[in-house]
Amino acid sequence: MRYYLFLLITFCSMAAQAEKLRIHVWHQMIYGHRQVLAEVLKEFEKQNPDITVQATYRETEELRSGYQSAAMGGSGPELVYGPSDQIGPFATMGIIRPLDDVLGADYFKQFDPLAAPTYNGKHFAIGDAVGNHLMLIYNKKLLSTPPKNSDELIEMGKKATIDKNGDGRVDQWGLVFNYTEPFFFAPFIPAFGEDFIKNDVQPNLNTPALANTFQFILDLRDKYKIIPKECDYETANALFKDGKAAMLINGDWSWGDYKEAKVDFGIARIPMISGTGKWPASLVGTKGYSLNVNMKSPKHQEAAVKLLMYLTSTPVQLQFAEKVGILPSNLDARDSDIVKNNPLLKISADIMEVGHPLPIVPEVRAIWDSLRIQYQKVLAGSLTPQAGAQGAQVLAEKQIAEMNEVLKPDAGAYVLKAIFALVILGGLWMSRKSLVAFIKGFQGPNRFAYYMMLPAFIGIFAVIVYPFFYNIAISFSNFSLRTFQDWSLVGFTHYVNAFSDPKFYSLFLKTVIWTVVNVFFHVTLGVFLAVIINQVMPFQGFWRALLIIPWAVPQYITALTWRAMFNQEYGPINIVLQKFLHLSPIQWLSQPTTAFAACIITNVWLGFPFMMIVALGGLQSISHSLYEAARLDGATSWQRFRHITWPLLMPVMVPAALLGSIWTFNNLNVIWLVSNSGEPGDQTHILVSYVYKAAFNLYRYGYAAAVSVIIFLILVIWGLGMLKSQYQKETK
- Compute the least distance from the CB of residue 466 to another protein, in Å: 7
How far, in Å, CA of 288 to CA of 85, rounded? 10
Number of other residues whose CB lies within 10 A of the CB of residue 528: 14
- Compute the least distance from the CB of residue 464 to another protein, in Å: 5
Contacts of 63 by beta carbon, 8 Å cutoff, 6+ apart: 26, 27, 28, 80, 82, 86
- Compute the least distance from the CB of residue 254 to another protein, in Å: 7
3-state secondary structure 252-309: HHHHHHHHHCCCCEEEECCCEECCCCECCCCEEEEEEEEEECCCCCHHHHHHHHHHHH
Residues in a beta bridge with 129 = 287, 328
- Compute the least distance from the CB of residue 31 to another protein, in Å: 6
> Which of residues 464 and 581 has its CB atom nearest to another protein in the complex?
464
- Compute the least distance from the CB of residue 405 to another protein, in Å: 19
Q: 175 phi and psi, to 5 degrees? A: -140, 135
Helix, strand or coil for residue 53?
strand
Q: Please report which residue ranges of 343-501 form alpha helices under DSSP H.
A: 343-353, 363-379, 385-404, 411-430, 432-441, 447-460, 466-475, 493-500
> Which of residues 136 and 656 has its CB atom nearest to another protein in the complex?
656
Eight-state DSSP code of residue 446: T
Helix, strand or coil for residue 501?
coil
The answer to whether the CB of 286 falls within 8 A of the CB of 114 is yes
The answer to whether the CB of 173 falls within 8 A of the CB of 160 is yes
- Compute the least distance from the CB of residue 541 to another protein, in Å: 7
Helix, strand or coil for residue 484?
coil
127: amino acid identity, one letter:
G
> Which of residues 315 and 651 has its CB atom nearest to another protein in the complex?
651
- Compute the least distance from the CB of residue 300 to another protein, in Å: 15
- Compute the least distance from the CB of residue 575 to another protein, in Å: 6
How far, in Å, CA of 291 to CA of 111, rounded? 18
- Compute the least distance from the CB of residue 525 to another protein, in Å: 8
> Which of residues 60 and 120 has its CB atom nearest to another protein in the complex?
60
- Compute the least distance from the CB of residue 603 to another protein, in Å: 13
How far, in Å, CA of 115 to CA of 245, rounded? 33
How far, in Å, CA of 587 to CA of 573, rounded? 11
- Compute the least distance from the CB of residue 667 to another protein, in Å: 10
> Which of residues 418 and 462 has its CB atom nearest to another protein in the complex?
462
User: Which has the closest alpha carbon to 116: 304, 329, 293, 311?
Assistant: 329
- Compute the least distance from the CB of residue 530 to another protein, in Å: 9
> Which of residues 339 and 364 has its CB atom nearest to another protein in the complex?
364
Residues in a beta bridge with 172 = 162
Number of other residues whose CB lies within 10 A of the CB of residue 105: 9
How far, in Å, CA of 71 to CA of 650, rounded? 50
Q: What is the dihedral of CA 293, 297, 298, 301, to 10 degrees?
A: -50
> Which of residues 279 and 320 has its CB atom nearest to another protein in the complex?
320
> Which of residues 551 and 627 has its CB atom nearest to another protein in the complex?
551
Q: How many residues does the chain have?
A: 732
User: Which has the closest alpha carbon to 678: 430, 372, 223, 412?
Assistant: 372
- Compute the least distance from the CB of residue 526 to another protein, in Å: 11
> Which of residues 215 and 708 has its CB atom nearest to another protein in the complex?
708
> Which of residues 52 and 207 has its CB atom nearest to another protein in the complex?
52
> Which of residues 421 and 537 has its CB atom nearest to another protein in the complex?
537
- Compute the least distance from the CB of residue 43 to another protein, in Å: 20
For the chain, helix (H) and strand (E) counts, in that order, are 34, 15
The answer to whether the CB of 595 falls within 8 A of the CB of 680 is yes
Contacts of 488 by beta carbon, 8 Å cutoff, 6+ apart: 409, 413, 477, 478
Eight-state DSSP code of residue 57: E
Q: Cα 23 from chain centroid?
A: 28
Residues in a beta bridge with 265 = 139
Does residue 211 come out as left (phi exceeding 0), alpha (psi in the -120 to 50 range) or beta?
A: alpha
Number of other residues whose CB lies within 10 A of the CB of residue 624: 7
> Which of residues 378 and 688 has its CB atom nearest to another protein in the complex?
688
Angle at CA of residue 482, ends 203 and 182, nearest 5°:
35
> Which of residues 419 and 462 has its CB atom nearest to another protein in the complex?
462
> Which of residues 293 and 715 has its CB atom nearest to another protein in the complex?
715
Give Cα separations from 457 to 273, 434, 435, 442, 465 (angstroms).
Answer: 66, 17, 15, 15, 10
> Which of residues 214 and 608 has its CB atom nearest to another protein in the complex?
608
> Which of residues 394 and 473 has its CB atom nearest to another protein in the complex?
473
- Compute the least distance from the CB of residue 265 to another protein, in Å: 15
- Compute the least distance from the CB of residue 40 to another protein, in Å: 17
How far, in Å, CA of 138 to CA of 431, rounded? 74
Where would I find the beta strands (DSSP E) of 58-106?
79-83
Q: 101 phi and psi, to 5 degrees? A: -80, -25
> Which of residues 277 and 554 has its CB atom nearest to another protein in the complex?
554
> Which of residues 60 and 145 has its CB atom nearest to another protein in the complex?
60
- Compute the least distance from the CB of residue 337 to another protein, in Å: 29
How far, in Å, CA of 413 to CA of 489, rounded? 6
How far, in Å, CA of 450 to CA of 706, rounded? 35
- Compute the least distance from the CB of residue 258 to another protein, in Å: 11
